[in-house]
Every structure is written in C-alpha cells, then in structure tokens.
Amino acid sequence: MPRAADPRNGPAPRASDRRSRGAAVEAAARAYLLEHGLRDIAANANYRFGELDLVMRDGATVVFVEVRYRRSDRFGGGAASVDLRKRRKLVLAAQAFLLAHPGYADSPCRFDVIEADGDPAQPGLNWLRDAFRADDI
C-alpha cells in the first residue's frame, strides 16, 4: 500500500522511485559483500512465500541476505523491520531456493541483514551477520 503524503516527509514516493532506490541500495549491499569476500549465487529470487534479496556464499556457507533501507532510524533501524513474520517468509523462501538448487542443499546456511540508510546512491551500510536462525522462529 502506498505511503500517504506526510508534511514532515514530503510527498509519498512513487512505486518506480521505490524500485530504483531499492535496486541502488541492493547493488551497494552486494558490492560491499563482494568486497568482504562473499561470492554471488543469486539476486531477487522470488518464490510464492517471498523474495530473497541476495543469496551469496561465504566459504562453504550459503548466506541469505535481506537488505533493509531506511532514510532515518527514527522508527528503528532496518533490522528492527525484520520481524517474526518477515523472518518466517525468508526462511520459507530459503527452503524453496534450496529445493530448487539441490547442489546447495547440504551446505550450512545463515541469514544476514544489511541495514542501509542515508543517500540510496551511497548508503551507509551495517552488516549483521547471522542476524537470525531458522530454528529461532
């Protein structure tokens, strides 16, 4: 549902603006993780349960990365928005990914969150490794 205009925040962003901002932030997060030694597997993997922003490898570990952008932390950072409902969706999507890619099924897995804020073209990034576990939900 589109965000209503709020005089404190300016007009509500259009869907195309949100998509381009999201793509820029995900590209920055991907580049950051590549710089830190992770390797690409997939991006924007869509399943009935939800979407996996990035799927990467960290050594032998398959890493499912949720990228969360916030213009400010006024209502909590990006990690705070990965609530129980979102974590369940991510776990189900990760299970679907592993079923579709059986070569990774026996690999250890983890769920990371990249919090991004500020300018979407050059966001500030905070990498939360092992942000949650599938057996925690």
* pLDDT of the residue at 78: 72
> 54-58 — which CB contacts under 8 Å span 24+ positions?
54/26, 54/29, 54/30, 55/97, 58/110
- Please state the length of the chain: 137
CB proximity list for 35: less than 8 A, separation 6 or greater: none
Backbone angles phi, psi at 24, to 5 degrees: -65, -45
| Mean pLDDT split into 10-residue runs, the chain, 137 residues | 48 68 94 98 95 98 95 66 93 97 97 93 94 89
Q: Give the per-residue pLDDT at 20.
A: 84
Asked if 63 and 21 touch (Cβ cutoff 8 Å), the reply is no
pLDDT of residue 99: 97
Q: Give the chain's domains with CATH numbers.
A: 22-136 (3.40.1350.10)
